[in-house]
Amino acid sequence: MQLGFVLFYVGAVLILNGIWMLGRIADREIVVINLVTACVSGGVVIHDGFGAGADLASVRNATLSLLFATTYLWVAYNRLTGMDGRGLGWFSLVVAVTALPVSLRAFAEAGTLAEGWMAVNWLVWAALWLLYFLLLAVGRPVERLTAWFTLLTGVFTGWLPGFLMIEGVI
């Protein structure tokens, strides 16, 4: 159930960040959903990484989840301070480089359809964070592509599966 909870908010923030990147939401207004999602993800990180039942698998989950929580906190910070996002862009490269072997490992270990789906998600997230790197750190003109990829990634890797999980459909 925790996975559905987090995916729902990750999906929501990605959808709204995509809409924001398309110029439909003001810079300061996008801060709220980024902070909420950073807190939701951060709560899972604290639970999994430092809770009474923490083990190798839960600490691994916390480590990877903190990549997402940090991203959303950084987006909020940049919108509040007017920073240009280059630091976030370089962090996004770290996320992309981390997500690729996570995806490869997930593909190698996938024994169920759900595990295969998560492997695909990690690959999509690696591509998305690579786009953030190209946009923010390198200055490539990929904002519209990144905006749409962010929005669609939010729907199909986050919000929709998260919603179906919390509703007990999957």
Residue 51 DSSP class: S
Which residues fall within 8 angstroms of residue 104, CB to CB, at 6 or more apart? none
pLDDT tens string 56-92: 999 999 999 999 999 999 999 999 999 999 999 999 9
What pLDDT was estimated at residue 78?
98
What pLDDT was estimated at residue 29?
97
CATH topology of domain 1-167: 1.25.40
pLDDT tens string 125-142: 999 999 999 999 999 999
